[in-house]
Amino acid sequence: MKLSGLPIEILILVYLHLIDETDWLMTSVRSLAATCQRCRSILDETRLIWIHMFGASFDLLEHHKVAEFDIKCELKHRVLALRRPNRVEPLPKIELLCMLVFENDGKNLKTLSASPGYFEILEWLCRYLVSVMDHPDAGNEPPQWEVFTTVESILSLDVLNTKQFFNHIDMFCLLNSPPPSLQYTEAQLNHVAMLDLLTWDSKQINLPIPCLSTTRHDLGTADNATRLQDAHVLPMFMSLTGKWCGYYGYCWRDVVDGAMQLVLSTSEMTGGVPGILRLQGEGTDPVGRFVIEGLVRDAGVVEFRKQYTGSHSWWYRGWMLPWGIAGRWNDGMFWIWKSVGELSQEFPSP
């Protein structure tokens, strides 16, 4: 019996069997559909096959399964955008990238990073970020915090295997005059700048950079920045004590210094001030040993003075992000994250 003569139920099972999670272009499925008109019609008209194809490459959430959701059209749109991103208009493209990040349970960003258009998407995304900073009120586009979170999430997938994308002069000019009302967004921008510096100046890297696939649970599910912060700030506020490490950079040159390694601890303020903890610590970096004294607020703000032994001090102010703590110090940006595994070691001598 010819393949085209098989009962519909059997052909559907054949299609489902051919779906391969390692081939997001579904080459085998498309090959079967090309054999005859009947096979093509069965593929076009069977929603179950499209649901399984979608779920093989992207995170399948409950709203994707409802009849009103055009899963066939959405899958085709995603494949086109990740395969040939230059053929997708800017607004649908940024909306899709934001959706992939905020609906990520593991598959979305894995498929994105493996796609043929990944590096082209990164370059476009970074140019788009600068344009958003230049024109913050550009119509119906996603809000700044959502764009910044999308850039952070995609760049954090594999930092040192990407490449340098930004025009540093433009980026640092933006950093030197951040929007005064967007403190959390400023911290996000500092984190993006540090990701960029670390790809640019990778010869300085002597600690592993955390490559993270941030999930929707890390980011929160509401459509506002307050919930975005709540999703990770409160857990981090309760678990700051321990070993941390990271890097700092400068607003006036394209380098990072060697790694910072530090141990932090928190305690209640005298009098038990609610929502504020005292922050103390010590550590080392290429300049020397230092001690830390500061405050942590349950809104996500971290402020401390970094005092070098017998020498000068610097003031640091940052925000808790899903990727650690990022922000500003007197001469530039910093990014630190909780040490785990092989990073948990004694301080080396400066």
DSSP string for residues in 141-158: SPPHHHHHHHHHHHHTTS
State residue 318 phi and psi, 5-degree precision.
-145, 180
Q: Is 22 helix (H, G, I), strand (E, B) or coil?
A: coil
DSSP 8-state symbol, 53: H
- What tokens appear for 130 in the block? 């600068």
Q: What is the pLDDT of residue 227?
A: 58
Query: Distance between CA 217 and CA 250 in Å, rounded?
Result: 32
* Token couple for 279: 């922050």
* Stretch (H or E) spanning 21: none
CA 291 to chain centre: 31
Q: Which residues contact 71 (CB under 8 A, 6 or more apart)?
A: 47, 50, 51, 54, 64
Can you tell me the distance from the alpha carbon of 49 to that of 42, in angstroms, rounded to the nearest whole number? 9
What confidence score (pLDDT) does residue 163 get?
A: 59
Smallest CA-to-CA distance from 334 within 194, 200, 225, 133 is with 194
Q: pLDDT below 50 — which residues of the chain?
A: 168-169, 179-181, 222-224, 342-350
31-68 pLDDT, tens per residue?
A: 999 988 999 999 999 999 999 999 999 999 999 999 99
User: What is the model's pTM?
Assistant: 0.81
The residue whose two tokens read 């405050």 is: 295
Question: What is the per-residue pLDDT for 139?
Answer: 58
Using CA atoms, how far residue 124 sits from 87, 88, 119, 127, 282, in Å, is: 12, 11, 9, 5, 40
Beta strand 332-338 pairing with 242-248: antiparallel
Note the pLDDT tens digit of each residue in 286-326.
Answer: 999 999 999 998 888 999 999 999 999 999 999 988 888 99
Architecture of the domain whose range is 238-343: Beta Barrel (2.40)
Q: Residue ranges of the domains in the chain?
A: 1-57, 238-343
pLDDT at site 308:
96
Specify the amino acid at residue 220. G
**Lookup result for tokens 């500061």:** 294
**Which are the contacts of 145, defined by CB distance < 8 A and separation ≥ 6?**
182, 184, 185, 188, 225, 228
Cα Rg of the chain (Å, integer): 24
